[in-house]
Structure 1
């Protein structure tokens, strides 16, 4: 009996460790908190880009939060202060003859942040973040796959407004 309870406690510890340590349950680096799902999360250089959804995210409730930086040293959190997801983010399906995928976008001051996950013909999947500010564009490409097991499903449930313009211009 004692052995079984020790095994149960050990299993609980092992399965909860990624969430408690700030990692996504599937092993991706993440800045999401306990109780949140890492919709999009990846390493870009020495920093982490995360889009985190509350478990109850829907059109009329829950939260969607962007976090950027390092564990213990966040550089940007959006929205701050918190607001309904539809007032803070927009989304679109994008594509052309050579690529197709989804984007999630938000603006903060004069900067626009666009998360993307695309399948590019002949190149496979590409995930990252494009920041446009003052006519300048910075492209942070994910080192690994950024979408979680649910892909964009939590974002679709939130019924975010359509991103305009519904396009994405990536460096080739």
Structure 2
């Protein structure tokens, strides 16, 4: 696929990304935060459980394991908004790869039951814009930390958000992007699950002449990655100190799109925050765009 086709089609989908609603009801089971409601779109029997693909109330896709019995109810449940009840259970370990003679097991959170629920109330209509009201600066909620956020165009906002308790073994980090100052649902949150920062991303800070740079990369399962970055160095025509920040999209390790921040980014992206949450490069690197 040529870079131009990637930009016009594939990236058109990926870059119109966003987060599930902050108001989405959740429950915590086995130390994991789970959505309390979902509309199943696909059912698949697996080696360890029934695998469900669902949409939340804002259209975001997520996946869950469920009791095998739920796969037998596909015809009656598919396409309906469901109230989800979870439990912890021992299942065949993923390392068994479906081998029935394998005795290894692991504890996971499963959907134990799913009952039809009323449709979610529509979001209230947005108030008329007011000159005194400031524009949206991130997709992070008040209970989250802004790790990185900037606009790459008047209609595009990129944010990396983390829970306040984010640490090497707890909390979560997510990459979010979409249309700011809008009631429209956002399309993508990476990763979809709320994983601790070292499981969700990689990152590094490194020195440069006249300053330094920092990058954070979140990857998808299909070899697509989003990298947010900031940097300061002697890049001016006469060696003057200049700053740069933005997001690049990579496919199979190669840059296919690069968007610059239109203003100064917000957030804590840098070595101090990386050390706090245990974020490392994982053997990866990143070259700042020109």
Q: Shared topology, TM-score over 0.5? A: yes
Equivalent position to 1:112, from 215, 225, 228: 225
Kindly state the Cα deviation for residue 84 of structure 1 after the two structures are TM-superposed: 2.2
Q: Distance in 1 between matches of 2:145 and 2:197?
A: 15
The equivalent of 1:124 in structure 2 is: 242
How many residues were matched structurally?
A: 147
Kindly state the Cα deviation for residue 114 of structure 1 after the two structures are TM-superposed: 1.0
Equivalent position to 1:40, from 148, 157, 169: 148
Kindly indicate whether residue 175 of structure 2 is the aligned counterpart of residue 66 of structure 1.
yes
The equivalent of 1:49 in structure 2 is: 158
Q: Distance in 1 between matches of 2:215 and 2:195?
A: 20
Q: 8 Å contact 2:224–2:250 — kept in the other structure? A: yes
Kindly state the Cα deviation for residue 157 of structure 1 after the two structures are TM-superposed: 1.0
TM-score normalised by length of structure 2: 0.45
Distance 1:35 1:133, change over 3 A: same
TM-score normalised by length of structure 1: 0.73
Kindly indicate whether residue 259 of structure 2 is the aligned counterpart of residue 146 of structure 1.
no
Q: What SS does structure 2 have at the residue aligned with 1:73?
A: coil
Per-residue displacement from partner, 1:35-71 (whole Å, max 9, x unpaired)? Answer: 0111110111111000011111111211111111024
The equivalent of 1:157 in structure 2 is: 276
The equivalent of 2:112 in structure 1 is: none
Q: Which has the higher contact order (CA 8 A, sep 6+)?
A: 1
The equivalent of 1:133 in structure 2 is: 251
The equivalent of 1:14 in structure 2 is: none
Q: What SS does structure 1 have at the residue aligned with 2:148?
A: strand
RMSD: 2.6
Q: 8 Å contact 1:94–1:167 — kept in the other structure? A: no
Unaligned runs of 5+ in 2: 1-133, 235-239
Q: Distance in 2 between matches of 1:28 and 1:40?
A: 14
Kindly state the Cα deviation for residue 147 of structure 1 after the two structures are TM-superposed: 2.9
Kindly indicate whether residue 199 of structure 2 is the aligned counterpart of residue 87 of structure 1.
yes
Q: Distance in 1 between matches of 2:164 and 2:214?
A: 21
Larger radius of gyration: 2
Unaligned runs of 5+ in 1: 1-25
Distance 1:41 1:98, change over 3 A: same
